[in-house]
Structure 1
């Protein structure tokens, strides 16, 4: 990817910035996630045993470790349209700071949010978020357990 960018009209300073971003976002987060995930499993030997006994848990284990550890804590977004969120109006163009670490420990979304549970993920049918504000009815997201 970086080689392709050198053929563009980006300045050396811009290329250096992209390179720094790629290293930070691609290498640093991945390396830390692997190390922290390993440490979390060593600190929770029951979960490590469950994963060893059932390798099919690997996909859910990755998702649960990402939720449990949340190595990237904040995100900044701008509202694309006026939206009301829990009684607060966020106007189009306003900046919102997202706290992923708080969201990933929300007890309204995750029962026992401070517990590492590799078997967590699928939701009860009544918890499936439905798309009811469109001409085409459907689900917004569907998490399943195989």
Structure 2
């Protein structure tokens, strides 16, 4: 009954160990929705590596179920909130990504407005009145 087990697989790095240094908090990643659950969605970032997109991080509005916004097999972009490779956990957010994109769009919309005045307008007026 004395047996010896040998395994080559256990000597090689697993999928989570291969993610070391490849993904960090703040990164924007692409993935595929693998499973929808009541509390969020699991997003496959690499073979056998999934991150959790919590229901509170899916949209800027309240949703009752992840299926209101996502469907299995859908490709999405998300921002990495937290990485704990030793615990096999990656937290993701599409809400934060939308907010960041929205704030830059809001600024560009404002900067493209032709109303108002510029510093050049003020300096031109000053030079005309001095002459």
Q: TM-score, normalised by structure 1?
A: 0.22
Higher strand share: 2
Q: Identify the structure with bigger relative contact order (alpha carbons < 8 Å, sequence gap 6+).
A: 2
